[in-house]
Amino acid sequence: MMSVLIVIHLLVVIALVGVVLLQRSEGGALGTGGGGGFMTGRGQANALSRATAILGTLFFVSALLMSILAGWNRAPRSILDETAPPSKTSTEKPAESNLLDQLKGGGAPAAPSAPAPSK
């Protein structure tokens, strides 16, 4: 669903750029090309203005839909459930054994004993 919406969004963006570039500029230096085009006069202004408005609306709607769909995929989480990062001021050295060994032996595991000398 998201990939289809992204493709539609990209097509709308390309069409919107094209329609905006087809519009006649009202600035002095930018519109010096003048002359005839495939549409002239008032018909051009009405058609391109309407197309720009429709494509702009489609752009915003597709962008909002993509953000809503992206939000649905996120799992809710709470900042209260997260564990705090270890403090940098702590001077304790980390234990050499894992937690399971500490729980079994009531503390750090004993060092392995040396083999008995053979006689």
What's the pLDDT tens digit per position in 70-100? 888 777 777 777 776 666 665 555 556 677 7
Distances, alpha carbon 22 to alpha carbons 8, 19, 33, in Å? 21, 5, 13
Question: How is residue 81 written in tokens?
Answer: 């459930």
Q: Is residue 57 part of a domain?
A: yes
Distances, alpha carbon 86 to alpha carbons 90, 92, 98, in Å? 8, 11, 17
Q: Is residue 118 part of a domain?
A: no
Confidence class for position 58, pLDDT limits 50, 70, 90: very high
Q: Is residue 108 part of a domain?
A: no
R_g (Cα) of the chain, nearest Å: 34
State pTM to two decimals: 0.51
Q: Is residue 62 part of a domain?
A: yes
> Residue 73: its pLDDT value, please?
74
Kindly report the number of other CB atoms within 10 A of residue 70's CB atom: 10
Question: How is residue 66 written in tokens?
Answer: 């993509």
Which residue range(s) make up the domain with 19? 2-24+44-72
Number of domains in the chain: 1
Q: Is residue 58 part of a domain?
A: yes
